[in-house]
Amino acid sequence: MIASPTSQTGTYNDQTSLAELALVFLKLGTTAFGGPAAHIAMMEDEFVRKRHWITEAEFLDRLAAASLIPGPSSTEVAIFIGQAKLGWAGLVIGGSCFIIPAAVLVTLIAAVYVRFGSLPQVAGILYGIKPAVIAIILQALWSLARTAIKSKFLALIGVLAVVLSGFGIAPLIVLAIAGISSGAASWLKRRGDVSLAVIPTFGKLGLLLGTAAAAVPVSLVRLFLSFLKIGAIVFGSGYVLLVFLRTEFIEHLHWLTEKQLIDAVAVGQFTPGPVFTTATFIGYLVAGIPGALLATIGIFLPGFALVALSGRLLPRLRRSAWASATLDGVVVGSLALMAVVGWQLGRAAIVDWRTSVILIASAAVVLRLRVNSAWVIAGAGMIGWLLR
Residue 69 domain boundaries: 10-99
- Give residue 64's pLDDT: 66
318 and 265 inside one domain: yes
1 in a structural domain: no
- Which residue in 313, 259, 275, 305 sits closest to 113, CA to CA? 259
- Give residue 119's pLDDT: 58
297 and 333 inside one domain: yes
110 in a structural domain: yes
Q: Alpha-carbon distance 296 to 285, whole Å?
A: 13
pTM (predicted TM-score): 0.70
Strands in the chain per DSSP E: none
87 and 126 inside one domain: no
128 and 215 inside one domain: yes
230 and 374 inside one domain: yes
- Give residue 259's pLDDT: 84
240 and 298 inside one domain: yes
360 and 322 inside one domain: yes
Q: Say what the alpha-carbon torsion angle 20, 34, 233, 153 is, to the nearest 10 degrees.
A: -130
* 22 contact partners, CB below 8 Å, separation of at least 6: 93, 94, 97
383 and 373 inside one domain: yes
User: How far, CA to CA in Å, does 214 sit from each of 217, 222, 310?
Assistant: 10, 14, 36
Q: How many Cβ atoms sit within 10 Å of the Cβ of residue 118?
A: 9
Count: domains in the chain: 2
* 45 contact partners, CB below 8 Å, separation of at least 6: none
107 and 78 inside one domain: no
* Phi, psi torsion values for 10, nearest 5 degrees: 65, -130
191 in a structural domain: yes
Predicted confidence pLDDT, tens digits, the chain (388 residues): 344 444 443 345 567 889 999 999 998 888 776 567 667 877 888 888 888 888 887 787 777 677 667 888 889 989 999 998 898 999 999 999 999 999 999 999 999 888 887 656 677 887 888 888 788 778 777 877 887 888 899 999 999 988 988 888 877 788 788 888 988 888 887 776 544 444 444 444 444 444 445 567 889 999 999 999 999 988 655 667 888 898 899 989 999 998 888 888 878 777 888 888 999 999 999 999 999 999 999 999 999 999 988 766 766 665 777 877 887 887 788 778 778 877 877 887 898 999 999 999 998 988 888 776 668 878 888 998 898 7
368 and 245 inside one domain: yes
- Of 53, 76, 99, the position where a domain reaches its end is 99
4 in a structural domain: no
330 and 195 inside one domain: yes
232 and 372 inside one domain: yes
- Of 99, 133, 166, the position where a domain reaches its end is 99
* 251 contact partners, CB below 8 Å, separation of at least 6: 212, 213
Q: Could you tell me if 108 and 37 are in contact, meaning their C-beta atoms sit under 8 angstroms apart?
A: no
- Of 80, 99, 118, the position where a domain reaches its end is 99
288 in a structural domain: yes
